[in-house]
A and B are shown apart, each in its own frame.
Chain A
Amino acid sequence: MKKENTQHLAGVSRRSALKSIGALGGAAAFSSIPGFTGMVHGQTDEPVRLGFQVHRTGIGAAYGRWYERTTNAAVERINNMGGINGRPIEIVGEDDGTDPKRGAEVVEKFATQHNCDAAFGTLFSHVVIGSAPRAGELKLPYLVVSEGHHVASGILNRYTLQPCITDVKSQVQAMAPFVHDNLGKKVTMIYPDFAFGHDHRDYFSEAFARRGGTILEQIAIPPAETAFTRYFPRIPRDTEILYHVMVGPAVLTFVKELGEFFGGSGPALFGFIDSLEAVDMNSPGLEFLDGSYFWEGMPRYQQEGMLEFDAEYRAAVGVDANGASISDSRDVSTYAHMFGCWETLHFIRDVMTAAAGSGNMKQAMIEAAEGVTDIAESIEHPQGAKLFNGKTHQVFGHQYISKVEGNRLNVVHSTSIEDTFYPDEVDYTQQEL
């Protein structure tokens, strides 16, 4: 067992240390309060071990591949800049098979066998919900890149955070007014039948009804499903907008069958890009999507004059201006989600730097994270500025709506951070560390 560094910084509390993250190394990431100058000393140069729970296999494999590439790029950058407190980051990647049961075992391995300082990177909400309780019991900081509302809803624990990707509740709440005002008032929803899809079902319906719209029908599809046509006849004929969000290996089949089903007629479409992540827009059978709208967490196609650091980030993670791999234009990335890994790793570096020198690094890291508020747009946070809520452990940020035009997605609307706010549902800082 490696001993944690037990050296304390005299006279500097963790919280004040944290608030000065922005001043460190010109990172300019968080709200900076000057006054913290004593850089840590006496650190070991043993690597900081970060457990990366990655969906290499199972229904999340396409995301896993790109989360891993993004992670490697971020780690290379951070290590080239001197690592964390002078220690390099070492990633301990472990496949969870996109399976909640295996997820909990992987978290346990990180804590007990690999002696990791933190774990991060999980996407699929059922895996997060299955793994987070174990991370809490083992007191292992667990930073997810998932989008589920599970963190902010209060069902998890103080060791689980979602610091760099927004949650479904805030996303759909920001989408509902656009859909209602521009596309139609009567919506039918199609969503995957697990936690993530249920967040869509519950929170979009709520937000859309608040705006005065009607939800006609809600169609749940198992995430491992491979045939979809048989679900579509349930779409009521007076549907004005079909709201679709799908995940899993068969998303291409899903959209293709949707196109075949409507055959050029049918309602307008509003989708979450999840239905098309890692799918080439030029695939045969997707022509019908022209003119339809998608939510994007980060625009797949490089947008003129938007997101200052996008080009630099694309180059770092090996993605071209169309969102595909530089080495293979058919290998399309999960661009709308994977920035979360890049940003989370920089977040981890910043909070660990702020927590340096404290007796219990894991606890100090959580406390440091809870003190974070503003996250500025930078190369370390290329998706845009964000606001972190230390009580709910959830970040809030900008959302993008894109229109399919000539086989590419062009951003037509971006929301403010305020559009995504909702009242706190939990205060994790009240829980014991």
Chain B
Amino acid sequence: MEFGPHFLLATLEGALTAAVLALTAVGLSVVFGIMRVVNVAHGEFFMLGAVIAWFVSTLVGVHPAIGFALALVAAPVAVGALAIVADRLVLRRLNYDPERTIVATIGLLYCIQQLTLMTFGPDARPVVPPFNQRIALPWFEFGEQGLQVIWPWGFGITTYKLAVIAFAVIILVGLWQFLARSRFGLVMRATQLDREMAQAFGIPIDRVYGLVFGLGAGLAALGAVLIVPIRQAHYLMGHEPLLLSFIVVIIGGLGSIPGTIIAAVLIGLSDGIISVFFSPTLAKIIATLLVAFVLVFRPQGLFGLRSA
């Protein structure tokens, strides 16, 4: 394939990765920023979102678009509720101790994964996208008759992929507005800045923590619902988003939402471009190397505050 279309295709693929990654990583970042909990089970919340989307869209035997729309609401809500329960039953009892919550969320990871294996089974299952038309993209080339429009083979994207990118942007903007403008956003930011002072002002920290954990898990689930019509639901699909989310959150700065989004776009696009031109393995190697550099030269991340 010629360089121009090849590069544009890589960028579009990268944008898709970045969109879903931004949603997932912001969920992880919010949880860390406010609760100081490193949620190792985050990838499993992602996976659960995809699995629930499959159940909802299959059980509701109507038009795929309606099933999918239902899943888009039901899966994040259900996963968020589960996360709130997990917070009550597990994290709160550990007093959100940073070390012990890591171990606890590792346990949660295995519980969720194995329960999914026992119920959903080991197979990958497809979800029908609500709409999916291929759009062939044109390219311009100087030929014998001057500038010509050509339609290179393999150069295209689907409407659904474009919709995923657009939808993720809308959700992220909405989330940003929610955190910046709403009362709950204010409470969350207050809790993040100084937990004890917030408590002294009468903020119910426990309830805020529960809701934040639920919000983080719900965002991961939302990312998964968006990607599942492209990638299928599978009980092991949580590994890669977990790894990439950690990479993004570390590069962006733990707890910084703008940093997380910028890092997600950076990692998503570079992953897409490097994967297409070289290999996906090289993309992972470079991303991990970048994390190492960030940890050495700027441990708080690109946008993180020094005093964490």
Which A residues form the contact surface with B (CB < 8 A)?
A: 56-58, 61-62, 64-65, 222, 224-227, 229-235, 237, 249-250, 252-253, 260-263, 265-266, 278, 283-285
Contact status A233-B232, CB under 8 Å = no
Contacts of A284 in B (CB 8 A): 128
B123 surroundings in chain A (CB, below 8 A): 61-62, 65, 249, 278
State the B residues within 8 Å of A (CB). Answer: 1, 6, 9-10, 13, 17, 117, 121-124, 126, 128, 132, 134, 136, 153-154, 156, 158, 230-232, 234, 236-237, 240, 272, 275-276, 280-281
Among B10, B132, B154, B237, the one with the most A-chain Cβ atoms within 10 Å of its Cβ is B154
Complex Cα gap A62–B1 (Å): 35
Q: Are A226 and B154 in contact (CB under 8 A)?
A: no
Q: Residue of B at shortest CB range from A249?
A: B124
Contacts A222-B281, A283-B126 given; does A233 touch B10 at CB 8 Å: yes
Residue numbers in B under 8 Å from A225 (CB-CB)? 280
Interface pairs A-B: 8 shortest CB-CB: A61-B122, A249-B124, A230-B275, A57-B122, A233-B1, A230-B276, A263-B134, A226-B231
Q: Is the CB of A266 within 8 A of B153?
A: yes
Collect the chain A residues with CB atoms within 8 Å of residue B281's CB.
Answer: 222
Given A230-B276, A260-B134, verify A266-B154 contact (CB < 8 Å).
Answer: yes
Within 8 Å by CB of B272, from A65, A230, A250, A283, lies: A230
Closest to B158 in A: A260
| A265-B153 Cα distance, complex, nearest whole Å | 7
Q: Which residues of B contact A237 (CB under 8 A)?
A: 1, 153
**Cross-chain contact B126 with A252 (CB below 8 angstroms):** yes
Q: Cα distance A64–B231 when bound, in Å? A: 22
Assess the A226–B6 pair: CB atoms within 8 A.
no
A86 to B86: give the CA distance in the assembly, Å.
55
- Bound CA span A226–B121, Å: 18
- Looking at the assembled complex, report how far the CB atom of A229 sits from the nearest CB atom of chain B, in whole angstroms: 6
Which residues of chain A come closer than 8 Å to B9, judged between CB atoms?
229, 233
How distant is the Cα of A249 from the Cα of B154 in the complex, in angstroms? 24
- What is the bound-complex CA distance between A64 and B121, given in angstroms? 12
Report 20 cross-chain contacts, Cβ distance below 8 Å, ordered by A residue.
A65-B122, A224-B236, A225-B280, A226-B232, A226-B237, A226-B240, A227-B230, A227-B231, A230-B276, A231-B275, A231-B280, A232-B154, A233-B1, A233-B154, A233-B276, A249-B234, A250-B231, A253-B124, A262-B153, A284-B128
| Residue pair B122, A56 in contact (C-beta under 8 Å) | yes
A74 to B122, CA, bound (A): 24
CB-CB nearest in chain A for B239: A224
Distance in angstroms from A274 CB to nearest chain B CB is: 15
Q: Which residues on A sit within 8 Å (CB–CB) of B117?
A: 57
In the bound complex, how far is the Cα of B275 from the Cα of A222, in angstroms?
12
Residues of chain A with a CB closer than 8 A to B6's CB: 233
CB contacts (< 8 Å) of A232 on chain B: these are: 154
Q: Told that A230-B13, A231-B280 touch, could you supply 13 new A-B pairs with CB distance under 8 A?
A: A57-B122, A61-B121, A224-B236, A226-B240, A227-B13, A227-B17, A230-B10, A230-B276, A249-B234, A250-B231, A260-B158, A261-B156, A262-B154
Q: Of A234, A250, A261, which contacts B234 at CB under 8 A?
A: A250
Report the Cα distance A252→B124, complex, angstroms: 9
Q: Report if A250-B10 is in contact (Cβ < 8 Å); known contacts: A222-B281, A263-B136.
A: no
Tell me the nearest residue of chain A to B232, going by C-beta: A253
- Of all chain A residues, which has the CB nearest B1? A233
A273 CA / B3 CA spacing, docked (Å): 33
Instruction: Across the interface, name the chain A residue whose C-beta is closest to B13.
Output: A230
Give bound CA distance, A359 to B231, whole Å: 54
Give bound CA distance, A147 to B28, whole Å: 43
Give the Cβ gap from A280 to chain B, nearest Cβ, in Å.
10
With A and B bound together, what is the CA distance between A263 and B123 in angstroms? 27
Shortest Cβ gap from A103 to chain B (Å): 16
Closest beta carbon of chain B to A220's beta carbon, Å: 8
Most buried by A among B124, B136, B158: B124
CA–CA, A235 and B272, complex, Å: 17
Expressed in whole angstroms, the Cα–Cα distance for A57 and B124 within the complex equals: 11
Q: How far apart are the CA atoms of A233 and B12 in the complex, in Å? A: 13
* Whole-angstrom distance between the Cβ of B127 and the nearest chain A Cβ: 11
Q: What residues of chain B lie closer than 8 Å to A226, measured between beta carbons?
A: 231-232, 234, 237, 240
* A226: nearest chain-B partner, CB-CB: B231
- Closest Cβ of chain A: how far from B223's Cβ, in Å? 14
- Neighbour of B232 across the interface among A222, A252, A265, A266, CB < 8 A: A252
